[in-house]
Amino acid sequence: MKQTMKGNSGYLFSIVLVAVLGGLLFGYDTAVISGAEKGLQAFFMGASDFTYTDGWHGFTCASALIGCIIGSAISGMLATRLGRKRSLILAGVLFFLSALGSMYPEFIFFQQGHPSLSLLVVFNIYRIIGGIGVGLASAICPMYIGEVSPSHIRGMLVSWNQFAIIFGQLVVYFVNFLILGSHANPVIEMINGVNAIVNPEAASWTIATGWRYMFGSEALPAGLFALLICFVPETPRYLVMIGQESKALYVLQRINGVKAAAEIIESIKSTVTEKTEKLFAYGFLCIFVGIMLSVFQQAIGINAVLYYAPRIFGDMGMDNPMVQTVIMGIVNISFTLIAVFTVEKLGRKPLLIIGSIGMGVGAIMVAITFGNNDFRMITMLGIMLYSASFMMSWGPICWVLIAEIFPNTIRGKAVAIAVAFQWIFNWIVSSTFVPMFNMHLVEGDHFGHWFTYGLYGAICILAALFVWRMVPETKGKTLEDMSRLWRK
């Protein structure tokens, strides 16, 4: 009973640790394409029934994002009808199926190693299935953590979800690097208006097999997540909403202690008397701020760097782009930890504003120096500053705010809408980056490089102004306090 009177921090951290595995899979699934895309492109270029163009490749690289939009859009409905826990189990199953299907899309219906348009369609369906899992996890993992965490450490615990996302990206960068080993990535050049593989013999293993191992490697963490999430409790706030107050009280007592649990459950009950309220019950501004946080997190352009990192470093003339990609992953992890350990001291708004300014400076450095070999190291530092500033600010803090900012009775629907906007703008940024980056006013100039990073830099400054003027500080407030804040 002594543990129950004080609350069991070990119990809290164990269930949060399982939940953040969903964040790790989120990062793993979205970044696996960075190492696999060149081998995948070369494989489907061997098809005889259609021409695998840059347009097809762009769609294939971004197809998982279609699933992410679908998954995030239905996350609110599933979180309300199935609950937070069962929705996360579903996400884990989808991750697992996608990993195996993407590794071996020929399963049953096609001959292995024979690319075709039909096989490409099936491959993209498997990637979309994984994307639905990512969309669900991206919305429900921070929601789950936010709803089980005490208010005084909620920001830090939700920030661990972003740490897990970046850690998942770093893990897959390492895994891709190890899988590739001494094998060569294919070199693809445009010859007479058609893509062609230069020296396919040198990259034959990567084209036939390497990309399959990269996608299949996700099956292990996906299966582990789907299994472990079965053993965590449902969130107390959801249990109160479905009338299971005794179960909710038991979970709260284990996490917060008997006295605090009694106070928290009364506060929850006072804000969930209506299970569903209209989306704009707390005003338009509440929803607008949540949506714009998501829009800015993507419009500042970070995923153009994360998804295409090896290609960008290769264009900069780096000898081994995968090494620079891993270094960037380590830098990202380090700066995410800064946010994790300062979010409860500094607050959400200061970190977002500082990060926006740092990103703006880094993006402008890249815009000015990209393509000039004399300033290659400055370009590299600019990319690192840009990426690191995101990781200490918009990366984790946006998810913290989305988990905190909405009142209980509209949280499921509001989070779903906000996260859907996030994935829509992720898709816009990811699909427009390569054409913008490759724009030329005259043959051989670097206009696209300047324009792309200059645009991202300008959006970073707008993001800082938006946070300063429009976003409320949520540090130290309970989730029930947010209902009172927006009522005002």
Tokens standing for 52? 């695998």
Instruction: Give the pLDDT band of residue 5 (cuts 50, 70, 90).
Output: low
Q: Which of 228-237, 335-344, 379-388 has the lowest mean pLDDT?
A: 335-344
Q: How many CB atoms lie within 10 A of CB 331?
A: 18
Provide CB contacts within 8 A for 349, sequence distance 6+: 467, 468, 471, 473
Q: Give the pLDDT score at 37.
A: 85
For residue 405, is pLDDT > 80? yes
For residue 3, is pLDDT > 50? no
Q: Give the pLDDT score at 286.
A: 83
Q: Give the pLDDT score at 195.
A: 75
For residue 452, is pLDDT > 80? yes
| Measured CA distances, 287 to 81, 119, 145, 296 (Å) | 22, 41, 21, 14
Q: Give the pLDDT score at 73.
A: 84
Tokens standing for 155? 């920001």
**Mind giving me the DSSP string for 179-218?**
HHTTPPPPEEEEETTEEEEESTTTTHHIIIIIHHHHHHTT
Q: Are the C-beta atoms of residues 79 and 139 closer than 8 Å to each other?
A: yes
Tokens standing for 452? 């792309």
Q: Give the pLDDT score at 382.
A: 87
| Measured CA distances, 115 to 49, 59, 121, 187 (Å) | 9, 17, 11, 19
For residue 146, is pLDDT > 80? yes
- Domain 1-232 sits in CATH at 1.20.1250.20
Tokens standing for 314? 């290769």
CA-nearest of 139, 134, 157, 126 to 18 is: 157
Q: Cα(147)–Cα(246) distance, rounded to whole angstroms?
A: 17
CA-nearest of 426, 454, 423 to 439 is: 454
| Measured CA distances, 85 to 140, 149, 220, 235 (Å) | 9, 15, 20, 8
CA-nearest of 459, 450, 329, 310 to 394 is: 459
Q: Cα(176)–Cα(215) distance, rounded to whole angstroms?
A: 9
Instruction: Give the pLDDT band of residue 193 (cuts 50, 70, 90).
Output: low
Element (H, E) at 145: helix 117-148
For residue 59, is pLDDT > 80? yes
Residue 44 or 272, more confident: 44
- Domain 274-488 sits in CATH at 1.20.1250.20
Residue 221 or 423, more confident: 221
**pLDDT over 70, % of the chain:** 90
Q: Give the pLDDT score at 296.
A: 94
Q: Are the C-beta atoms of residues 460 and 359 closer than 8 Å to each other?
A: yes
Q: Give the pLDDT score at 315.
A: 67
Q: How many CB atoms lie within 10 A of CB 284?
A: 9
Provide CB contacts within 8 A for 202, sequence distance 6+: 184
Q: What is the mean pLDDT of residues 36-51?
A: 89
pLDDT (tens digit, 9 = 90+) per residue, 92-131?
A: 999 999 999 999 999 888 888 899 999 999 999 999 999 9
Q: What is the mean pLDDT of residues 425-453?
A: 76
Q: Cα(289)–Cα(324) distance, rounded to whole angstroms?
A: 36
Q: Are the C-beta atoms of residues 69 and 135 closer than 8 Å to each other?
A: yes
Tokens standing for 290? 């949540």
User: What are the backbone angles phi and psi of residue 232, rounded to the nearest 5°?
Assistant: -95, 155
pLDDT (tens digit, 9 = 90+) per residue, 409-424?
A: 777 778 888 888 888 8
For residue 226, is pLDDT > 80? yes
Return mean pLDDT, the chain.
Answer: 84
Torsion of CA 415, 419, 421, 422, to 10 degrees: 150
CA angle 61, 63, 64 (to 5 degrees): 100
Q: How many CB atoms lie within 10 A of CB 230?
A: 12
For residue 4, is pLDDT > 60? no
Q: Give the pLDDT score at 348.
A: 85
Q: Cα(237)–Cα(183) distance, rounded to whole angstroms?
A: 51
Residue 34 or 220, more confident: 220
Tokens standing for 310? 């090896």
Q: Give the pLDDT score at 1.
A: 36
Q: Are the C-beta atoms of residues 318 and 374 closer than 8 Å to each other?
A: no
Please list the alpha-helical segments (H only) found in 300-375. Answer: 302-307, 309-315, 321-346, 348-369
Q: Cα(195)–Cα(192) distance, rounded to whole angstroms?
A: 8
Residue 278 or 111, more confident: 111
* Three-state SS sequence of 232-286: CCCCHHHHHHCCCHHHHHHHHHHHHCHHHHHHHHHHHHHHCCCCCCCCCCCCHHH
Q: Record the pTM.
A: 0.78
Residue 136 or 190, more confident: 136
Q: Cα(93)–Cα(130) distance, rounded to whole angstroms?
A: 9
pLDDT (tens digit, 9 = 90+) per residue, 279-318?
A: 676 778 888 998 999 999 999 888 777 666 666 776 666 6
For residue 223, is pLDDT > 60? yes
Q: Give the pLDDT score at 345.
A: 82
CATH 1.20.1250.20 placement within the chain:
1-232, 274-488
pLDDT (tens digit, 9 = 90+) per residue, 469-487?
A: 888 887 777 666 777 777 7
CA-nearest of 19, 56, 40, 62 to 306 is: 62
Q: Which of 93-107, 133-147, 262-276, 411-425 has the lowest mean pLDDT?
A: 262-276
Instruction: Give the pLDDT band of residue 224 (cuts 50, 70, 90).
Output: very high
Burial of 237 (0-12, 13-18, 19+ CB in 10 A): buried
